[in-house]
Amino acid sequence: MRTRRLGSTGPVVSAMGLGAMAMSGGPYGEADPDESVATVHAALDAGVTLIDTADFYGMGHNELLLNEALQGRNRDDYLLSVKFGQMRGPGPVFGPQDGRPEAVKNFLAYSLTRLGVDHVDIYRPARLDPAVPIEETVGAIKEMVEAGFVRHIGLSEVGAATIRRAHAVHPIADVQIEYSVLSRAVEAEVLPALRELGIGLTAYGVLGRGLISGHWNAGRNDPRVRSPRFAPGNVEHNLALVEELRRVADGKGCTVAQLVIAWVAAQGEDIVPLVGARTRTRLAEALPAMDLTLTPDDLAAIEKAVPKGAARGDRYPSAFMSALGVG
């Protein structure tokens, strides 16, 4: 597994990271805990060092699962990226963001306990709290860096202006944001700002929540149908784009999933794709993407198959879109 550095001040991590959200249910349905643990082990054994989670994934379940999976592993062999601040209620209820300094430290204390570690490698607010200046939120994380409980500071789903304000308080290692052949809004302002400031990008949603993995079909009974891109009228159009990608992948001798992961990785050495594999089978499919070289002709063929802006439907339901720094 090759490595990449997250920005000019961030850590060196594996060129692909493992996103753990789907291991705790949510929009992807129930997961097998034993298979999830085995998948984490397989990822580590393959050289994946970056694991991404959040304290609200499964209401703490995800952090406890990782605690189990990481037992007996050398703490220096993996890096934990943790998001915080998304308030929840019982059941599938999402509340507002909480970026208050006292809440930052409270969330961190619980995460350290659930994960069973003495520090988090990258700590980041999941979304911007509009009621709290970003300088205050980042300032609180900075105090945790100085105290040794956090190694690096990250951001998630924020715009260029917020990134600049945060970076002025403390160097930001990376910004986590959705980026795929279907979701390219970051290219307009966010990605140029990151490169100007020397900040990395960890890209989630590289498989479009499974939509462009090459395995999803419109006939499935799946919670994701509530998402605009999976909605009737949109999903058929988007799956037609996947078939165009499949032609490119077939010509390249790879799967659609490998092609689109490699596409994200090919957009720059400062970008690390996060793959949300929750089974060893899906992980095994994703890993070869890191060895897939895309030529200029390959990239042109992908662009022709899925032109920028070709996807139909927002990437989140309307209630969530207002919390995002980019569309």
Using alpha carbons, list the distances in angstroms from residue 307 to 110, 174, 238, 300, 310: 43, 27, 12, 10, 5
Residue appearing with tokens 């290692």: 173
Q: Yes or no: say if 304 and 137 are a contact pair by the CB < 8 Å rule.
A: no
Using alpha carbons, list the distances in angstroms from residue 13 to 47, 78, 120, 122, 313: 10, 8, 14, 11, 33
SS (H, E, C) 207-257: CHHHCCCCCCCCCCCCHHHHCHHHCCCCHHHHHHHHHHHHHHHHHHCCCHH
204 is catalytic: no
Active-site annotation holder among 28, 57, 78, 316:
57
Q: Among residues 86, 157, 83, 161, which one has the least CA distance to residue 124? A: 83
Distance CA 158, CA 199 (A): 13
- Residue 94 phi/psi, 5° resolution? -105, 135
Distance CA 287, CA 248 (A): 19
- Rounded to the nearest angstrom, the gap between the alpha carbon of residue 258 and the centroid of all alpha carbons in its chain is 17
DSSP 8-class letter at 119: -
Catalytic residues: 57
